[in-house]
Structure 1
Amino acid sequence: MKKFIFLVLLLVLIISCSKKTYSSFKIGIIADCQYCDCEVKWDRYYKKSPQRLKEAIAILNKDSLNYTIHLGDFIDQKMSSLDSILPTWNSLKSTSYHVLGNHDFDVSEAHKEKIIEKLNLKDRYYSFVERDWRFIVLDGNDLSFYGTTSELKKQQTDSLFNSLENKNLPYLKKWNGGLSNTQLNWIRSELNKAVQENQKVGFYCHFPIFPIDQHTIWNREQFLSLIKPYKNVKLFFNGHNHAGAYQLVDNVHYLTFKGMVDTEKTSAFAKVKFDKDTVFVEGFHREISRKLIIK
């Protein structure tokens, strides 16, 4: 009898271990906090951002989040803007990450590298793994007229911008930027790692890929050609276009999160839950809640 009970228990254990289980996780997302001690411009209420960030973090801290990420333009003008708002950001209970935006570099030339250091970034672009996802954080300011910090990158910026000038592109604006060949090669290596380790891929960037408008990253065609063979790419999340946007292309969800800084009386941020085949976006204030099916 004891032997029979032991065999039954062993069988139950084997069956339970053989079942594939998926442990969901949840994150926080904020875009374009863009604080500065500035007057209202373009329906951006810069002075309201500290309170909005504080309120968002109070809500995010009530949940058990694996991490929170800001999708660029944390500040607008001056290093003092960063000093004023970082203590609030640092009150997050979860791990936190930053994406570099164009306005983050709207500081003096001498302070551009210090911005990166103060945001606790070791690299301008990087990746990290959460469960069976590899998240790739891009630097859309790698080639740009405000975010470059070397003569070589300035030359590469001029070269890329000039090569696109005759194509009548709506997004060839000097407030946007592009990805260097070095970064594109690094992205390829990250995608190959994800394939080898059977990981789904989500991208974070400040600048959008879709839809095409005046906010889109300069060399989007290069990026799309690069990711096309990789069927494990599932998400591309970004800020920059404060109105927000969404487009599904080739089973990749391209989602632009709304800017926190915009409008007089409302904010915008989100919690995002990753399940086995679904990503749930829980929007707060102006941010829209969505259900994204992962195929």
Structure 2
Amino acid sequence: MDETPTWTTGTLTGNSEPCFSFGVIADIQYADLEDGYNFWGSRRRYYRHSLHLLQSAVEEWNKEGNLLEFVLQLGDIIDGFNAQHKTSKNALGRVMKEFKKLRAPVHHIWGNHELYNFTRDYLTQSELNTKSLEDHIFLGSAAKGQDSPGDATAEHYYAYHFSPVTKFRFILLDAYDLSVLGRDKSTQKYQDSLKLLKEKNPNENLNSPTGLAEPHFVEFNGGFSQAQLDWFNEVLTFSDRNEEKVVVVGHIPIHPDSTDDSVCLAWNYKDALSVIHSHQCVVCFLAGHLHDGGYCLDSHGVHHLTLEGIVETPPGSHAFGTIHVYDNKLVLMGRGRIPDKVMYYTKYEDKCKYNCL
């Protein structure tokens, strides 16, 4: 287990106490396999060591005490190679065993690697469905079409919201609602997703962005259905009306400037951004998927933070963090590859401070 450097919140936050804190971790992609490489063969992946990094992250979070309200696991909890080796359930069991040692609840996002290993029906019935933690205060008309977690079908999306404290809300989105991964081929969403993907990507290998005008239209990405976007809009309308601040969470980034390439973006990221920018309440969008991480502050004052991935973190380093929530800012205390960052709620201040389009 690697040694995590010690740190204090005082250097960034002064002596004031945050309202609450939450943990963030992305792209664990555990497999009981020797080290390998990414899709392009350019980056080393530490499949077996990722479990040790999760263990030490849990130990560190448990030291933070009652201030830590919850942890967000941003998707790709186990690697797709588990499906090839028929070890998916065992690998998931080992990872979940470590998360159960955490003294705070965990909210799970689904990424492409969840869908390489399991069908959406399986995930709906699994421990990776944390929709039971949803806040049921708001139920808009679009949300009423969503079945309860135990009754969800392959046609539905996995999205929910919760409020850990008054005036603050988190919304978890399903970035693979439109996708050919994990869905039964007989479903309408599979057919619609395949049609869209092939219209945008004529390559024989649908994971290849070669020659594409829109290189993010690859199979390992996905998108949001109109039904989910309508639901998202209703929840944000509720938050606007109640003067809440909102953090939105999804596996795939939705802003081009929050990635270091043009590939790792949700298919219809512009639609999701349009919904967010039509509301005052959103202060931050959190994502994984891009293992190098990324950040920008957009023209509407929304912070887009993409977390570095555990699976490409070598021994001797780390890649998780704790975000402390204040009345006027979010303060990320990162470990290892994840740098510290202060994110002020600038949309409530002078708009000339915005530094990315």
**Shorter-chain-normalised TM-score: which range?**
0.7 to 0.9
Match of 2:9 in 1: none
Contact persistence 1:79–1:115 (CA under 8 A): no
1:179-228: CA deviation from partner (whole Å, max 9, x where unpaired):
11111111011111111211111110000012262110000111122222
Residue 123 of structure 2: which of 110, 115, 122 is its match?
A: 115
1:132-179: CA deviation from partner (whole Å, max 9, x where unpaired):
211110111111121334611102212432454487112111110011
Matched, 1:158 2:194: yes
Match of 2:11 in 1: none
CA–CA separation in structure 1 for the residues paired with 2:173 and 2:183: 14
Q: In structure 2, give the amino acid aligned to 1:118.
A: E
Q: CA deviation at 1:273?
A: 0.3
CA–CA separation in structure 1 for the residues paired with 2:174 and 2:33: 26
CA–CA separation in structure 1 for the residues paired with 2:182 and 2:273: 23
Residue 162 of structure 2: which of 116, 128, 137 is its match?
A: 128
Q: Secondary structure at the match of 1:105?
A: helix
Provide the identity percentage. Answer: 31
CA–CA separation in structure 2 for the residues paired with 1:24 and 1:163: 47
CA–CA separation in structure 2 for the residues paired with 1:71 and 1:202: 13
Matched, 1:74 2:77: yes
1:251-279: CA deviation from partner (whole Å, max 9, x where unpaired):
00000000011133122000000101111
Match of 1:25 in 2: 20
Matched, 1:144 2:179: yes
Matched, 1:187 2:190: no
Residue 177 of structure 1: which of 222, 225, 239 is its match?
A: 222
Q: CA deviation at 1:118?
A: 2.4
Q: CA deviation at 1:120?
A: 3.8
Q: Secondary structure at the match of 1:128?
A: strand
Computed over aligned residues only, the root mean square deviation of the Cα atoms, in angstroms, reads 1.8
Q: Which moved more, 1:157-166 or 1:41-50?
A: 157-166
Rg larger in structure: 1
CA–CA separation in structure 2 for the residues paired with 1:232 and 1:200: 5
Alignment of 1:133-282 (within 5 A): 133-149=168-184, 151-165=187-201, 168-210=213-255, 211=257, 213-249=262-298, 250-265=300-315, 266-282=317-333
Q: Secondary structure at the match of 2:215?
A: coil
Q: Secondary structure at the match of 2:45?
A: coil
Q: How many residues align?
A: 272
Q: In structure 2, give the amino acid aligned to 1:128.
A: F
CA–CA separation in structure 1 for the residues paired with 2:118 and 2:18: 45
User: Which ranges in structure 1 are unaligned for 5 or more consecutive residues?
Assistant: 1-21
Q: In structure 1, give the amino acid aligned to 2:160.
A: Y
TM (normalized to structure 2)?
Answer: 0.72
Contact persistence 1:141–1:148 (CA under 8 A): no
Structure 1 runs (4+) deviating above 4 angstroms are none
1:217-240: CA deviation from partner (whole Å, max 9, x where unpaired):
000111122222212111000000
Residue 337 of structure 2: which of 280, 286, 295 is its match?
A: 286
Contact persistence 1:142–1:148 (CA under 8 A): no
Sort the Cα spacing of 1:96 and 1:165 in 2 relative to 1 into closer, same or farther, 3 A: same
CA–CA separation in structure 2 for the residues paired with 1:156 and 1:62: 47
Sort the Cα spacing of 1:162 and 1:226 in 2 relative to 1 into closer, same or farther, 3 A: farther
Contact persistence 2:313–2:337 (CA under 8 A): no
Residue 41 of structure 1: which of 27, 33, 36 is its match?
A: 36
TM (normalized to structure 1)?
Answer: 0.87
Q: Secondary structure at the match of 2:253?
A: coil
User: Which ranges in structure 2 are unaligned for 5 or more consecutive residues?
Assistant: 1-16, 38-43, 83-87, 132-148, 150-157, 203-211, 347-357
Contact persistence 1:44–1:261 (CA under 8 A): yes
Q: CA deviation at 1:23?
A: 6.2
Q: Secondary structure at the match of 1:114?
A: helix
1:86-108: CA deviation from partner (whole Å, max 9, x where unpaired):
11011110121001111011125
CA–CA separation in structure 2 for the residues paired with 1:174 and 1:242: 17
Q: In structure 2, give the amino acid aligned to 1:139.
A: D
Q: In structure 2, give the amino acid aligned to 1:106.
A: Y
Contact persistence 1:171–1:218 (CA under 8 A): yes
CA–CA separation in structure 2 for the residues paired with 1:143 and 1:79: 25
Q: Secondary structure at the match of 1:69?
A: strand
